[in-house]
Chain A
Amino acid sequence: MQPLIRIAGLSKSYGSSRILDNLSLDIPAGQKVALIGPSGSGKTTILRILMTLESIDSGQVEIGGARLFDETATGPAYVAERRLRPIRAQVGMVFQHFGLFPHLTVERNIVLPQILNRVASEPEARRKAMELLDLMGLADKAAHYPDRLSGGQKQRVAIARALALQPRVMLFDEPTSALDPLRVNEVLQVLHAVARTTDMTMLLVTHEMSFARNFADRVLFFDHGRIVEDGPPDAVFDTPRDPRTQAFLRLSSQGE
């Protein structure tokens, strides 16, 4: 079977530092993947490229068989916006710093993208929003503006907003890193519930090792723009082969 996401020979540098180093990776539909590793190892950049937020120096990315890049004289460039939009419709993203629209109420944050994407009529979109807010335990916040919410609440709204568009791929970019430690769990619980109940493909960048282990059925360990360990969570966490993974896991278990 063809993988849903296919990444081939991806490289990217900022000035002299290499963010991604000839990276290749296939992800089959429905897989829940956790991306772990030290800061600056390229985990977040992968997600941002899949969301078409970041340019690349070389390589190719396919989502659902559609290419994201055209080969041009100056290297790969994103395909025309017209062709990009149907691809983007299959991908949703939750950001570290939420990215809620501050001028819209919580409900409107979830409703407006659905309407603009024509995935639902206004009443359907509102029903969907309330359903998701209910699931997130935030039904009573529908009419509030984002600045009245705590970080954990904001992130749950952001998750609901992304889910409402029913993407095939969900990208979570350190969804709990900006949160108050006491608020981390409420978001992790929601993520866990979503992961268990859908067949969506999910990529999660996180520093919460024990959560990564529970959430994922595949763990990738990144270091300096390469994947140095790739396997099921038990194998990666219990019997890591690469010394860099061993060292990183030792340090992060001390932190927990």
Chain B
Amino acid sequence: MSWDSHYALLALPVLARGLWITIVATVLSFALAAVLGLLIVLAEMIPSRTVRTLVRGSEHFIRGTPLLVQLFFLYYVLPYLDVTLPALGCGIFGLGVHYAAYLSQVYRAGIAGVPPLQWEAARACNLTRTQTWVHIVLPQALKPSFPVMGNYLIALLKETPILSSITIMDMMGEANTFGDLHYRYLEPVTLVGILFLSIGLLARWVTGTVYRLLSNPV
């Protein structure tokens, strides 16, 4: 038995349908992660030990446990708490929260990289704390974070096949179902791999270009 091009061709349109879900899930959960990650970092600025310990602890917990189990938890446990989310909603939420715990580290490093003199200069200009964050610190902290965030975007993309385990018909979900139907997985699963490889390369090129444009304002 070996590669069957005809069969692979049959699988392609099905995978394309799944690709759409993969992209939607990636974009939405990354957006959620980007916002939530920033909120985590800002929450840590609240001058309370309890808040800080709680935030840091949850962050560790989210980063230290498997995404798959977190998704199962959301998918199977939430209905018992009378929260009903569609599977895709669960998936996007779970992925978003998981990656927020990573992006918060990226932001934190970016903020630590802003020289103390910038804070002092902002104070000499009599800016409020909020103004200092919004106009001085965050713009400088985020710029060096962009390439690292790009890496996480690609990592998140490659993690989306896991969504198929909670019945989401992303690329992997479609490939498995198609394989189940014909008792043949080689072509659909290989194609998924090839598609990821190409999307990853494309995404790397796009994020690289975006970063170049951002770092050389025209």
Per-residue contact bits, chain A 89-101, to B (CB 8 Å; 1 contact, 0 not): 1011101010111
Question: Contact at A99–B131, with CB atoms within 8 Å?
Answer: no
- B117 at interface by CB-CB < 8 Å: yes
- A85 at interface by CB-CB < 8 Å: yes
- A187 at interface by CB-CB < 8 Å: no
| Chain A neighbourhood of B131, CB < 8 A | 116
Partner of A102, one of B120, B124, B135, B140: B140
| Chain A neighbourhood of B186, CB < 8 A | none
Question: Contact at B135–A116, with CB atoms within 8 Å?
Answer: yes
A161–B124 CA distance with the chains assembled, in angstroms: 10
| B147-198 residues at the A interface, CB under 8 angstroms | none
A73–B140 CA distance with the chains assembled, in angstroms: 38
- A253 at interface by CB-CB < 8 Å: no
Interface residue count on the B side (C-beta < 8 Å): 18
Per-residue contact bits, chain A 34-55, to B (CB 8 Å; 1 contact, 0 not): 0000000000000000011100
Partner of A92, one of B118, B124, B135: B124
| Chain B neighbourhood of A81, CB < 8 A | 128-129
- B136 at interface by CB-CB < 8 Å: yes
- A88 at interface by CB-CB < 8 Å: yes
A83–B143 CA distance with the chains assembled, in angstroms: 34
- B127 at interface by CB-CB < 8 Å: yes
The distance from the CB of A159 to the nearest CB of chain B, in whole angstroms, is 12
Question: Contact at B136–A117, with CB atoms within 8 Å?
Answer: no
Per-residue contact bits, chain B 73-98, to A (CB 8 Å; 1 contact, 0 not): 00000000000000000000000000
- A130 at interface by CB-CB < 8 Å: no
What residue of chain A has the Cβ atom nearest to residue B140's Cβ? A103
Question: Contact at A113–B117, with CB atoms within 8 Å?
Answer: no
- B57 at interface by CB-CB < 8 Å: no
Q: Given the interface contacts A103-B139, A103-B140, does A117 sit within 8 Å of B121 by beta carbon?
A: no
Question: Contact at B136–A101, with CB atoms within 8 Å?
Answer: yes
Question: Contact at A99–B126, with CB atoms within 8 Å?
Answer: no
| Chain A neighbourhood of B212, CB < 8 A | none
Interface residues of A (CB under 8 A from B): 51-53, 81, 85, 88-89, 91-93, 95, 97, 99-103, 112-113, 116-117, 145, 161-162, 165
Counting from the closest, the 4 A-B pairs by CB-CB distance are A99-B121, A113-B125, A93-B124, A88-B126
Q: A93-B124, A101-B118, A162-B125 are in contact. List 16 more A-B contacts (CB 8 A).
A: A51-B120, A53-B120, A53-B123, A53-B124, A85-B126, A92-B124, A95-B120, A99-B120, A100-B121, A102-B140, A113-B127, A116-B127, A116-B131, A116-B135, A162-B124, A165-B126
